Each structure stands twice: as structure tokens, then as C-alpha cells.
Structure 1
Amino acid sequence: MNISVILGHPYEKSFNHAIASTVVETLCASGHEVFFHDLHKEGFDPILQGEELVTDSSDDSLVRIHCSEITEADGIIVVHPNWWGQPPAILKGWVDRVLRENVAYRFAEDDDGSGLPMGLLKARTAIVFNTSNTPEERENTVFGDPLERIWKDCIFDFCGVTDFHRRMFRTIAGSSENKRLEWLDEVKKMVSSNFPLDDV
């Protein structure tokens, strides 16, 4: 299977990077083809320019690569921190520029864009791994866990990805090395259970 792995975190020694490395290693060990992108390292430009929006195409070669790969992906895994209840700006820009109309979804020919979209992504399974320093009770009672709604309903369901899984690791600040190793083992198990050994 072709699996797209997208990392949105600027600090290479972050736990997000450790999660992404574990994801890639686990997928490769199971025989999957991995399209891995560290958005910061590769210098992904998150800014959607007006011309790109109205022409529905991009002159950015990196954006074109991402669009091509995401249409071929059998699965998608996204790794990012919880910043202000949202993905970091670089990842939001990736959504804007890559999960675009006629790549990730489209509307019927007679639809002006106000109707229900048709998801175009080949992938049927997506996993999102998040990190946070907000305790779970406060996240749920005060903020309502906006990342769950963003990724599950506003993005993946919109694009036709129906099998969605998400795991928030918290709290990262002050967590011990042993706890982080436990979390990484959980990442391995979650990835392996959703993307088992590839027999193709």
C-alpha cells in the first residue's frame, strides 16, 4: 500500500518527530511504500495565492508533487501538535493547497459549490497523531476537542476518507522518557493494526 505521512512541526527534536519516525519505520517494516513529508524541512509554502485559488492549479512544483501523491495514497497519517486548538499554520496551508477541489473532492457539474461534495481521495483510512500540554478534562469540557471535529468531519469525511482514527498524547511537557517510549509503542500498535503487513 502507498501511505502518505505528513509531519507539521518545526523542531526536529520534538516528540512529533519521534512519532513520525516511528510511523515511517513501522510502515516500512510492514512492506508499505511511504511518501513522507516533513513540511518544515522541505520548505513547504503554506500561503495560497489568489491566482492559484481561482485557476484551481498550482505553479509550485512541490504542491504538484503533494497533490499527485495524495491521490495515489491508500492511507494517510498526519502528525502535529495542538496549537490554539488547530493544526500549525504550515499544516493548515498544506490542507488549503493540497486537499483542493478536483484533487480531494469535487461538486456535481450543476452545483455552484454550495451542495454536498463528492470525496475523491482513494484512501479509506486516516490516522492523526497529536500532542498537547492541555489536560484531557480541560480540553473536552472547555474547548470541546476542536481537532477531532476539524480532521474527522471538516477534512477527511469531506474528502471521502471514512475510516478515521486519532490519538492525542498528553501532557508532553514534563513527561518522562519511559512514558514517551510507552506512547511510541502505542503508535506502532495503532499503525500496525490499521495498516497490517502488505502482501501485495
Structure 2
Amino acid sequence: MSTRKIILINGHPGQSSLNKSLAETYRQSAEARGHEVRYHDISAMEFDMDYGEGGYANPKPLEPVLEALLSDLEWADHVVLTSPLWWGAMPAKLKGALDRALKPGRAFDTRNTTAVGFPKPMLKGKTARVLMTSDTPAVLLWLMYGNAIKKIFARQIFGFVGIHPTRFTWFAPASHADEKTVQSWRQKVAQLGADAA
């Protein structure tokens, strides 16, 4: 089996979390199989989350942690992101990191457009996996909300910059999962890491 270059992002802003545990499980398993992993932990990153007054013509300079994040997105051929589902979306700090790091001229090209008028994606040739924790089971997210978070990640963020396909693995209900359940989730994530999937 060929090895892959993986950027692994823990999108939970807390210092300790189920998401961080799943990210570390994925990392250990992937590295044990020979894949190269570059790890970014949102909880340990310090940056201004607000795009602010910066525009496409005058973007706010990236802090070193965001420059490293973007550089590793450019380097990787597979993106793995862990995130909790909070109020139907991702945590604010993760959203802020993506708002800032996915810069025009490096993630998408506003000077060249697709047939439908969107900026040309610049991160093509990569795949993604989102490890999503929530208290709402995936089937209810689909029935009640039309899988809005899935569409946001797969189409409006990763898809917009050329990362495709984005696959999802759901872990729910997560807040009060017992140890046996969590262990079964870790085993599942370990297999994904070994397979670089």
C-alpha cells in the first residue's frame, strides 16, 4: 500500500476533548502504517479569528500558525478534520482559522473563474475525511436539517477550494458516551488512520 501525506486538524477549541482523542488515535495509527502526518491543534493555536477589514486586494497577513496550516494544506494529499457539532455548525475558532487561512491566490483564484463563475479552486487533487462528533445522530441531522453541516464542509469549504471528495464519519451521541462506546469509536478511527482514509 502506498503512503500518503496527511494534514490532521483537531478542530475542537478545548485543551482536552473526545475530538482530540480521536485525532491522536488517527495520527498514531497513520504514522505506524508509514503515512506522513502534519498535525494542527486548534486549541493550541493563537491567531486573530476575524477577517476584519481585510479584503481580497488587501488581506490581513497570516500569523505563523495559520501560514503553517495553509502550507500544510497545500502540501498534503489528504485532509482529516475532527470537529464537534455546536448549534448546527463548527466551533467559532475552527471557522475563524478557515476564514483566515483559505486565502485568495493560494486556496482559490479570483482572477480565473469556472464555467459557472466561481473562482478557480487551487487545492485540487486532495481528498478529505471529517470525523464529526455530535449529540444528534446522523440520521436525524439528515431528516431534520438536511445535513447542513455536511454540505458546508463538503461543498462550501473543501469543495470550493478543490478538495474532493469529502467523506464523513459520525460519532453520536457523544456528550455522555460510555467508555465501551468510545473505545469502539477509537478502533474505527484507528482503522481509518491505518488506511489513510
Is this a same-fold pair by TM over 0.5?
Answer: yes
Note the aligned Cα RMSD (angstroms).
Answer: 2.0
2:166 aligns with 164
CA 1:118/1:55 → structure 2, altered by over 3 Å: closer, same or farther?
same
2:127 aligns with 125
CA 1:66/1:134 → structure 2, altered by over 3 Å: closer, same or farther?
same
Tell me if the contact between 2:62 and 2:101 (Cα under 8 Å) persists in the aligned partners.
Answer: no
Q: How many residues align?
A: 192
Deviation per CA, 1:74-93: give whole Å up to 9, x if none. 11111110011111011111
Pick aligned residue for 2:30 from 27, 33, 54: 27
2:191 aligns with 189
Structure 2: which amino acid aligns with 1:30? R
Residue 67 of structure 2 corresponds to residue 64 of structure 1: yes
Structure 2: which amino acid aligns with 1:133? D
Can you give the 5+ residue segments of structure 1 that lack an aligned partner in the other structure?
196-200
1:6 aligns with 9
Tell me if the contact between 1:73 and 1:122 (Cα under 8 Å) persists in the aligned partners.
Answer: no
Q: Mean Cα displacement is larger for which, 54-63 or 13-22?
A: 54-63
SS of residue matched to 1:46: coil
2:58 aligns with 55
Deviation per CA, 1:167-195: give whole Å up to 9, x if none. 11000122110111101111122233345
Structure 2: which amino acid aligns with 1:99? L
Can you give the 5+ residue segments of structure 2 that lack an aligned partner in the other structure?
none
CA 1:30/1:45 → structure 2, altered by over 3 Å: closer, same or farther?
farther
In the TM superposition, residue 57 of structure 1 has moved relative to its aligned partner by 5.4
Pick aligned residue for 2:179 from 177, 180, 185: 177
In the TM superposition, residue 122 of structure 1 has moved relative to its aligned partner by 4.9
Structure 2: which amino acid aligns with 1:120? M
User: TM-score of the superposition, structure 2-length normalised?
Assistant: 0.87
1:115 aligns with 117
Pick aligned residue for 1:38 from 38, 41, 49: 41
Structure 2: which amino acid aligns with 1:22? T
SS of residue matched to 2:44: coil
d(CA) in 2 for partners of 1:92 and 1:185?
28
Tell me if the contact between 1:8 and 1:88 (Cα under 8 Å) persists in the aligned partners.
Answer: yes
Percent identical among aligned pairs is 29
